[in-house]
Chains A and B, each alone.
Chain A
Amino acid sequence: MQDGLSVYGTQLSSRLLVGTAQYPSPAILSGAIKASGAEVVTVSLRREAGGSRAGESFWTLIRELGVKVLPNTAGCRTVKEAVTTAQMAREVFATSWIKLEVIGEDDTLQPDVFGLVEAAGILARDGFQVFPYMTEDLVVAEKLLGAGCEVLMPWGAPIGSGRGLNNRFGLEALRKHFPEVPLVVDAGIGTPSHAAAAMELGYDGVLINTAIAKSGDPVTIARAFALAVDAGRLAYGADPIMPRDMAEPSTPQLGRAFVDLSHA
């Protein structure tokens, strides 16, 4: 089941989305994105000292990769900040896509879900196609869909933690409640097995940054993540067996040699 992912009318063949921050060098960033097969990368806007033009060279590199960009509002803590940043990003990156972050807590970078819903509504009414970074809360999901979001991006664990899927039950419940909504696990994935697990739950994609950028070999692990996402998706479509509490012989018992001798 090597099918694609459709978000806001855009068809993607890769279900792995990749962040562009924290790489050791632009060359490694470029190599990792290519190895990942990702067609969407996240980008941001930041202050720059006059004359350094680092932003310009970064933007040139991304454009040369030919990938679609998903600008974020990372670091925004109020609705006003997030909305203004989104408006600025739309102009610079020439896209209506926005990964909406409204951060509510500094230690966990947990989303402020109240501000998130409010900002999502404002942006959707202004023509944005919003990818909200959220918790796995069902009520928040319902509110975000009502606000105009067509994609939801629940966290697996706190950003950069690499802890994987902290609340598997909650993620499963979200999947079951919204079977038709594209769901992408964003944040917290640390290893390819975490990515595969998310895909096995029926998630439509994963967004990974730190686990690739901060690994010892970003290019190789980017490829590993790509394989894991494909493996997880294939497994989800293959109806995996359910776990059991007790053993069940996998080798047929009928015809086994000596089967009754001990009791003769």
Chain B
Amino acid sequence: MNGKELEVGATTLAALLDELDYRDVVVATALNQNFVRAVDRYETLLEAGDAVEILTPKQGG
């Protein structure tokens, strides 16, 4: 997740966000460099080796 190896119990992207305490945080997600809409996170299954990106609003130029 976000470039670091992580062992998790979650089997879906939505469950992963819960497990990592992002439940109430505004985030955007991508799986293996492909955007995953918020509404699709519940059906997005995770497999070993998947690369998940969780991004939040930040300052930008």
- Residues on A lying within 8 angstroms of B by beta carbon are 19-23, 29, 42-48, 50-51, 53-56, 58-59, 62, 71-72, 74, 80-81, 84-85, 87-89, 91-93, 159, 209-210
Q: How far is the CB of A105 from chain B (nearest CB, A)?
A: 17
Tell me the complex Cα distance, A117–B60, Å. 22
State A29–B55 Cα separation when bound (angstroms): 22
Query: Measured between C-beta atoms, what is the minimum distance from B25 to chain A in Å?
Result: 6
Which of A47, A81, A88 is the one whose CB lies under 8 Å from B3? A47
Chain B interface (Cβ within 8 Å of chain A)?
A: 2-3, 20-22, 25-30, 33-35, 37-38, 53-61
- Whether B60 and A72, one on each chain, are in contact in the complex, defined by CB atoms closer than 8 angstroms, is yes
Taking the nearest CB of chain A, how far is it from the CB of B61, in angstroms? 4
Judge whether B35 and A53 touch: CB under 8 Å.
no
Instruction: Please name all residues of chain A whose beta carbon is closer than 8 Å to the beta carbon of B37 when the two chains form the complex.
Output: 91
Across-interface contacts of B53 in A (CB, < 8 A):
47, 88
Inter-subunit contact B59/A88 (CB<8 Å): no
Min CB gap A190→B, angstroms: 14
- A51 — nearest CB in chain B belongs to which residue? B21
Q: List 29 A-B contacts (CB under 8 A).
A: A20-B59, A20-B60, A21-B59, A21-B60, A22-B61, A45-B55, A46-B55, A47-B54, A47-B56, A48-B54, A48-B56, A48-B58, A50-B21, A55-B25, A55-B26, A55-B56, A55-B58, A56-B26, A56-B57, A71-B60, A80-B33, A84-B34, A85-B55, A88-B30, A88-B35, A88-B53, A92-B26, A92-B27, A92-B55
Q: Which of A43, A55, A209 has the most CB atoms of chain B within a 10 A radius of its CB?
A: A55
CB of A46 within 8 A of CB of B35, answer: no
With A47-B53, A50-B20, A55-B25 as given contacts, are A19 and B58 in contact (CB-CB < 8 Å)?
no
Q: Using a Cβ cutoff of 8 Å, how many contacts connect chains A and B?
A: 102
Chain B residues closer than 8 Å to A58, beta-carbon distance: 57-59
CB distance from A205 to the nearest CB of B (A): 15
A residues within 8 A CB of B54?
47-48
Q: Is the CB of B26 within 8 A of A48?
A: no
Complex contact B38–A91 (CB within 8 A):
yes
